[in-house]
Structure 1
Amino acid sequence: MIGFIVAGLIIGALARLIKPGKQQLGILATLALGLVGSVIGGTLANLLGTGDIFELNVLGFIFAVIAALLLIGVAEGITQKRHKSVR
Structure 2
Amino acid sequence: MLAFLVAGVILGVLARVLHHEPDDPSPVLTVVLGAVAAAAAGGVMNLFLGDDLTALTPWSFTSSCIVTFVLLGLLEGVWWRRP
Question: Is the pair's TM-score, using the shorter chain for normalization, greater than 0.5?
Answer: yes
Structure 2 unaligned regions, length at least 5: none
**Structure 2 partner of 1:47:** 48
**Structure 2 partner of 1:64:** 64
Structure 1 unaligned regions, length at least 5: none
Tell me the percent identity. Answer: 32
Greater RCO structure (CA 8 Å; 6+ sep) = 2
Deviation string 1:21-79 (CA, Å, 9 cap, x unpaired) is: 62434331222222232212321232123x32222222111101111111112212111
User: Is the 1:41–1:67 contact (alpha carbons within 8 Å) kept by the matching residues of 2?
Assistant: no
**Structure 2 partner of 1:78:** 79
User: Is the 2:5–2:36 contact (alpha carbons within 8 Å) kept by the matching residues of 1?
Assistant: no
User: Is the 2:45–2:63 contact (alpha carbons within 8 Å) kept by the matching residues of 1?
Assistant: yes
Count residues in correspondence.
Answer: 76
Measured in 2, the distance between the counterparts of 1:13 and 1:57 equals 23
The TM-score, its normalising length taken from structure 2, stands at 0.64
Tell me: CA distance 1:34–1:52, structure 2 relative to 1, closer, same or farther (3 Å): farther
Tell me: CA distance 1:30–1:57, structure 2 relative to 1, closer, same or farther (3 Å): farther
Q: CA RMSD in A?
A: 2.7
Shift of 1:7: 4.1
